[in-house]
Amino acid sequence: MGNNRKNVFILIGVLVGVLVLFSGITFMQIRGEKIAKNTYISGVSVGGKTREEAKSLLSKEYKLENISFEYNDRKWSVPHKDIDLSYDLDDTVKKAYGLNRNNNIFKNIVKTTKTNFGEKNHITVTFDYNKSKLKKEVEKIAKDINVDVKDAKLNIGGSGISVIKEESGLKLNIEKSIKSFEKEIVKGIFKEKLVVNVVEPKIKEEQLKDIDTVLGSYSTRFDSGIAGRSENIRISADRTSNVLLMPGETYSYNNQTGERTISNGYKNAPVIVQGVVQEGIGGGVCQVSSTLYNSVLYSGLEIVNIQNHTIPSSYVGKGRDATVADGGIDFVFKNNFKSPVYVRNYVSGNIVTCQIFGSSKDKQNIEIVTNIEGSSQAPVKKVDDPTLPKGKEQVLERGRNSYTVSTYRVYKDSNGNVIKKVRVHKSYYPKKQEVIAIGTKEEVKQEAPVESSPESTPQNPPQNQPKPETPNTGEQGGDTDEKPAESTDQQTKVE
């Protein structure tokens, strides 16, 4: 029993001695000049080396070179000086040396012990570069790599409708390429693989194969002499064109045109604001929306949102116009067919044409009919005008009658017999008061002079005798504020 106890004390003494010895060695390692064992700087082993030895070793591995960016078999070289690339080996070695020295004594002993028993420590090289400069260099390379994606399109000509096949595009991913550069440069690798993405077309040949006919088409004329308005019509027709609608998808006119601003390319032209024609940005876009509305009516597509102008348009009949406004009024329709439809708008001369293409199995015989269900005469206000001769009238503001108009789709069979009649929209055009000036100016009658005898004639007649006034019978042309911006246009329907 005594011997066993003695052996235990001996064992404990040995363990304590070993622990003290090991702690002493560990403490000496911490206080020493060498980096902890099993320490690697970007793959280079520096464990057990002094800071000077580690820096000398790293300086052989990390020498600045020009960066070679690669994609497939193509290469682009960027001098390291052009992006201010540099390595900070002093800071890197400092981080490695402080690995088991920068915490409290207990944590430092634990860290040193773990490294002694094989735990590996990995540190990356400290480097610096100008990201803005590198981004500009990569953007230059992108111009050599990028290829625009091409959607499949309809080729519409005299021989019929065919499909132009789509083409995939290429786009250099600048951010991912820079991150790849950073991962490689810490390893001392100056050959970087660029990250290039394949851009797939949104519209493919397969999607257009069933489109073989015109479902609806409509054209209107405009005055090409009004430069700003003509340009707005051209821009809006172009931006709302070449749109594929799959079954169930909706088309927003405002989303297609974008905001009507100068920065977005639109010009100043006459527009209708709260029933009054005035100069504004984007005048003319409503002619395209109205023309498109009529082609949609003939195509049989579902009308989701439609609103008429406050003033009847001259390029389309009452009940056939579609007004739009930024941030508010929009013309929206939906593809309610089982096959895709394709919207195509274009300007030729002074004619804008909107067409809806689709499958012949969705072709319908549709007639558009409008009915004026009510109208009301414009009120007349008469005001006295002392500058006009009494009884003379002059129109100061032209009035406008109100109208309530229903627009119908009439569906017919192949023999022209009516299958059904569906009201699409009810339009209301409010009246506008007419103002007429009534002359109140009294005509001054000149009395005939009294003849006198020679004896009574004065020797010195008065000077500057006033002459009789001549009444002004001329009329001023009436104001044309009820005239819409589109008043010079004529409509042309293409069925």
Asked if the structure places residue 118 within a domain, the reply is no
Instruction: Tell the residue number behind the tokens 């011997």, with chain if given.
Output: 3
Asked if the structure places residue 476 within a domain, the reply is no
**Cβ atoms 164, 155 nearer than 8 A:** yes
Instruction: Tell the residue number behind the tokens 């009507």, with chain if given.
Output: 260
Interatomic CA distance for residues 409 and 228, integer angstroms: 34
Interatomic CA distance for residues 262 and 281, integer angstroms: 7
Full-model pTM: 0.63
CA 285 to chain centre: 17
Buried b vs exposed e over 366-402: b needs ≥16 C-beta within 10 Å? bebebeeeeeeebeeeeeebeebeeebebbebbbbee
Asked if the structure places residue 434 within a domain, the reply is yes
List residues bridging with 351 in a β-sheet.
Answer: 221, 348
Q: How many domains does the chain have?
A: 1
Asked if the structure places residue 162 within a domain, the reply is no
Asked if the structure places residue 40 within a domain, the reply is no
pLDDT, tens digit (0-9, with 9 covering 90-100), for 289-335: 999 999 999 999 999 999 999 999 989 999 999 999 988 899 999 99
Which domain does 267 fall in, by range? 210-438+481-492
Residue 468 confidence (pLDDT): 35
Residue 272 confidence (pLDDT): 61
Interatomic CA distance for residues 111 and 97, integer angstroms: 12
Asked if the structure places residue 145 within a domain, the reply is no
Lowest mean pLDDT among 13-22, 77-86, 149-158: 13-22
In percent, how much of the chain has pLDDT > 70? 81
Residue 207 clears pLDDT 80, i.e. is over it? yes
Residue 231 confidence (pLDDT): 92
Asked if the structure places residue 17 within a domain, the reply is no
Asked if the structure places residue 35 within a domain, the reply is no
**Cβ atoms 44, 61 nearer than 8 A:** yes
CA 207 to chain centre: 25
pLDDT, tens digit (0-9, with 9 covering 90-100), for 418-451: 999 999 999 999 999 999 999 888 877 666 665 5
Mean model confidence pLDDT for the chain? 83
Interatomic CA distance for residues 346 and 486, integer angstroms: 18
Interatomic CA distance for residues 402 and 398, integer angstroms: 13
